Structures are given as C-alpha cells and as structure tokens.
Amino acid sequence: MRTPSSPPPPGPLLNVVGVSKSLGGKLLLDRVSLSLNRGELKVLIGPSGGGKSTLLQCIHFLLAPDEGDVFLDGVSAREMGKKNIRSFRQEIGMIFQDFNLFDHLSAQNNVAIALRRVKKIPKKEALERARLELRRVGLSGKEELYPAQLSGGQKQRVSIARALAMDPKIMLLDEPTSALDPELIGEVLNVIQDLSEGGMTMLMVTHQVGFASHLTEEILFMENGRITESGPPALLLGEASRSRTYEFCSKFMEISGRDPAAARPSSK
C-alpha cells in the first residue's frame, strides 16, 4: 500500500471493474462497473434482490468476486492475495443494516476493540479515540452503555463511530436506516450528512430517496444484478424523465404522499 506521505494517485478513489458474482447457481452480479471520486457520495437504489448488498460485500471482499476486480487508490484487491486482503479491508468502512455490535461490550469498547486487536493500539489510546468518535456521532455520555441500553439509532451511530475510528478511505453503507423506527431514522441520516459535508467518500444503499437526492450528484439504479440507470437526481427523479428510477421510487413515496423529486432530509 502507498505510504501516508505519498500523494494520492490520479483518478477515482474507488474503481469497480466488471464484477460478477454467483451464489447457489444464481447470478447476483453481472459485470458491474462503477467509480467513486474522493469526497463523493453515490447512492444505490433498486428493488430487493437486485444485487446492491452483494455488490457492497464484493467491494469489501467479504465475498470474492467470480470475475472482475476492485481498485482502491489504484491498488487491486485481487493482487493483494488472501494473505494481505485484510489490510485492503481496513481502508473500507462497512456499515450494515443490523449494527453488528458485541452485546457484552460497552459502546466505547465496541469502538475500541478493532483499534486494539487489528491496529494494535494501546488500550488507553484506543479508548480515548473511541470517546472522540462517539462524540463525533453525538453519543457523548453514552460511552459506558451496552447495546441493550441503546436505541436502534444509537446502536447504528456506534457502528458508524467504530468504522470511523479505523480511518477508512471510503465508507460503504448498506441500508443503514432500514432496521430503525421512523422517529430514529433522522439521527442517523444527520450523521451521514455531516460525514458527506466533511468530505467522506461514501457509497450508500438506501430507500431514503429525499435524503439521497439532497446529498448525491449521482444515483445508480440497480436491478437484476446490473446498474441499469445512472444520473443526477434532478434527471432520474423528474416525472418527465419516465425513468425506471422514478417509476420505482414513486411507488413507495406515494404511500406518504411525497414527490420523489421534491423530498428533502429532515432538519437537525
């Protein structure tokens, strides 16, 4: 990997090239390609089973693609090999739907554990960093609470703090609000908005269309294992576009009587 003092290589920070993946004889990803520049947030939208979560897992190499490759800062994940793929993963923060916290550890220790075990940072330093990251996501005063004592929104913010503590170059967010009650969604979206405005590079799977259209410059619509449409929100979410993205988003936005093109994130 390049040294911290080296200038970043030119081109996209993330480059996904021709990634395909099959499981159980079913083709889940079909030659998917995308790129992400530094400081950019792109949003993946599409029906369930379309391959969105599988794509994030292949980018993180939790699932190794059958074909294609993933480049981060110009470094090929395939060329890292099984022995070194962990160092590749350390530079990618992954946020799941279901938090993945350790129930027997406090919020602070959930954030600190990877710093201690993966980066070998001394306990005192790791706990201090954990406190800083919990403060960053609005959880000051919650450091000693256990997951069972936290709301769903707070748990998700702990998982975001845990990812941030590893100093990732990019964050992958897989439906980060899907497991939350409606009144808790806003607190997690506010953290994501702060990260985006602070320059964090992110690729997010979400059905929060209004929020996504406010922050991203490009929506990627994914269906049947392929990215079938891509473009700015104003184009894809405009009724006149007759896009598949608008057709899909309008179905669930109509339930709340909101226009996909006009929706906006909740205020802080």
Q: Which two tokens stand for residue 46?
A: 């599409």
Strands 75-76 and 67-72: antiparallel
Per-residue pLDDT for 210 more than 60? Answer: yes
Cβ–Cβ under 8 Å, residues 32 and 44: no
Alpha-carbon Rg of the chain, whole angstroms?
19
Q: Where are the domains of the chain?
A: 1-91+171-268, 100-167
Query: What is the per-residue DSSP string for 178-221?
Result: TTS-HHHHHHHHHHHHHHHHTT-EEEEE-S-HHHHHHH-SEEEE
> Residue 23: what residue type?
L
Q: Which candidate, 142, 75, 81, 87, places its Cα nearest to that of 110?
A: 142
Match 């590749």 to its residue by tokens. Answer: 88
Among the listed ranges 17-21, 29-33, 45-49, 106-110, which one has the minimum average pLDDT value?
Answer: 45-49
Assign 1 a pLDDT band (cuts: 50, 70, 90).
very low
Annotation: CATH topology of 1-91+171-268 = Rossmann fold (3.40.50)
Distances (CA, A) of 192 to 135, 152, 180, 262: 14, 15, 15, 20
Q: Which candidate, 222, 261, 257, places its Cα nearest to that of 240?
A: 261
Per-residue pLDDT for 241 more than 70? Answer: yes
Cα(45)–Cα(249) distance, integer angstroms = 9
Q: Which two tokens stand for residue 185?
A: 């969604």
Non-local (6+) Cβ contacts of 152 within 8 A are 99, 179, 180, 181, 184
Average pLDDT over residues 63-84: 92
Per-residue pLDDT for 8 more than 80? Answer: no
Cβ–Cβ under 8 Å, residues 142 and 154: yes
Q: Which candidate, 197, 126, 207, places its Cα nearest to that of 173?
A: 207
Report helix, strand or coil for 239: helix
Per-residue confidence (pLDDT) for residue 5, from 0 to 100: 45
Per-residue confidence (pLDDT) for residue 253, from 0 to 100: 61
pTM, two decimal places: 0.88
Cα(246)–Cα(228) distance, integer angstroms = 13
